[in-house]
Amino acid sequence: MRAAAESIRQGVRSGELIDLPPVEEEVEQDISALEGRLLIRKHYARERNRKLRSQKIDKVLAQGSPIACEACDFDFARTYGPRGGNYIEVHHIVPLHHIGESKTRLDDLALLCANCHRMIHVSRPWLTVDELHVLLQEQSQSGD
């Protein structure tokens, strides 16, 4: 490590290592990382719309369904009691780059537990709720 640092210092002193332009691949990765961050920021901003969120939860309750994760069935109230009552994350199922700034309908929203929501967004391409559901089933079957 110290040897590497020293050879870099020498390279800089000798002028060999100044301002190397990034190779094309690095530039492309930077741009897609930036785009990814922007998309996820927009995505979360849209999901934070409180009115849509409570309308979605009310609709599910009105249908007589429990407030549970659509991918793994986790129910916060069942595990955490009253503290978890009606707690759930709301996920926008239509990728933003496909719909631009159009209006969100309640059917565009899926209810997810915090773990499943994170797993959908942990890397790109994002999984659909159905894909995550299938993944969970495959995992539990291959489990033991």
Contact footprint for Zn ion (CB under 5 A): 69, 71-72, 74, 91, 113, 116
Please say which residue, 57 or 71, places its beta carbon nearer to Zn ion: 71
Please say which residue, 48 or 59, places its beta carbon nearer to Zn ion: 48
Q: State how far the Cα of 99 lies from the Cα of 106, in Å rounded to an integer.
A: 15
Q: Residue count of the chain, please give it.
A: 144
Strand pairing partners for 130? none
Q: How far is the CB of 94 from Zn ion (least distance, A)?
A: 11
Please say which residue, 24 or 74, places its beta carbon nearer to Zn ion: 74
Q: Is 40 exposed, middle or buried (0-12, 13-18, 19+ CB in 10 A)?
A: middle
- Amino acid identity of residue 106, one-letter, is L
Please say which residue, 30 or 107, places its beta carbon nearer to Zn ion: 107
DSSP string, 11-45: HHHHTTTS-PPPPHHHHHHHHHHHHHHHHHHHHHH
Q: How far is the CB of 71 from Zn ion (least distance, A)?
A: 5
Phi/psi for 89 (5° steps) reads -100, 150
Q: How far is the CB of 31 from Zn ion (least distance, A)?
A: 22
